[in-house]
Structure 1
Amino acid sequence: MRLYEAGAEDVPGDDISWNADMAPAIMVALNMGYMRYRERRGIRHFYLTSAGYSKIGIPPFSASRYFLQTIRRLLGINSGL
């Protein structure tokens, strides 16, 4: 959940408020495929996977869904999304 609160996508490891005692849970999340990281210029950038979003019960970010919701909100159309 901390990764989600920090932005969920391409978050530098230093920007996430993880404690040292969370290391076992972080390793499980990485091993279970709930989150991944990419290293760029010596900095690990973390992101949630689809499985991670599913595990915390939040739909994954979708640019097209966000765009449609914004258009519908601007037009005053209630679609139940």
Structure 2
Amino acid sequence: MQQHITFEKFNLISDRIPRLDFDALLCRNVMIYFDNQTSEAVVNRLYQSLCSEGFFAIGNAENLMNMKHSFKSVAGTPSLYVK
């Protein structure tokens, strides 16, 4: 199973996203350090990097309210979204 997992490290604000087909992105407790405008830009860049029906997880202290984005929340699972 390990051969199917790839970890990528990059700057969420300035770097080009390395791939465009992630199945899941874990972005927990990152956006609490950004202002709302930067968070919205990062969320939308990450949305583009997910495959169809890919998952996006954020920290419990974070939310996507007051942002324009295309994610759908996963019912019954706070802080988890799907493309």
Instruction: Tell me whether the two structures share a fold, i.e. TM-score over 0.5.
Output: no
Higher strand proportion (structure 1 or 2): 2
**TM-score, normalised via structure 1 length:** 0.27
Higher helix proportion (structure 1 or 2): 1
**TM-score, normalised via structure 2 length:** 0.26
Larger relative contact order (Cα-Cα within 8 Å, sequence gap ≥ 6): 2
